[in-house]
Amino acid sequence: MTRSPAKDAQSDRVILSNRFYGTRYLFIAVMAGLVWFMLVNGVGNGIAPYSLLAAGGLYYLVTHTKRALFDEHNLYFVRGGQETAIPLASVTGIKCTGTRVNGSRLWRVEYTERDRTSSTYHFLPRRFWGNPSGFVETARAANPKLVYWSHPYFFHETPDADDAGRDS
């Protein structure tokens, strides 16, 4: 059974990555429990201060994640109420990296910004829509010079890869 990609409720944008923004409440509860534990048992109690530091770091990461969406013209990054639009024509490379998180591979998108600086964005695809092939096809239609790495270590596809070596 093939699952269709999730659509954003506001438009025809396709949701590309997860945003774990709602889990911040879980981290607030964990940190409050750790503070209570430290007050009851003493601050110097072994692992509690380090656990509080780790929970604070995870809270920071969760609240600063970006959500990625795309349509046929742009790639959108949304964090909080701020949205950044990147034209798909400026996407220069897409790679499925070797890093795995919970069985899903981390993806990297390389793009050039308006001031011609190169930037990257890493994302985990949505859990129930594993392969962002629709994004790759849409980006390739917008930028024919896109370099796509379908495997983390081998086989990158360039626009003229099929014609290479046939002249001899």
Report the DSSP pairing between strands 67-70 and 14-15. antiparallel
How many CA within 13 A on the CB side of residue 4? 4
Range 15-37 average pLDDT: 74
The string of DSSP letters for 27-38 reads HHHHHHHHHHHH
Burial class (CB in 10 A: 0-12, 13-18, 19+), 86: buried
pLDDT score at 74? 92
pLDDT tens track for 56-111? 777 777 777 778 888 889 988 887 778 889 999 999 999 888 887 767 778 889 99
pLDDT above 70 as % of the chain: 72
- Residues making up the chain, counted from first to last: 168
Q: Does domain 70-157 have CATH number 2.60.120?
A: no
Cα 42 to Cα 13: distance, rounded to the nearest angstrom: 51
Count CB neighbours of 165 within 10 A: 7
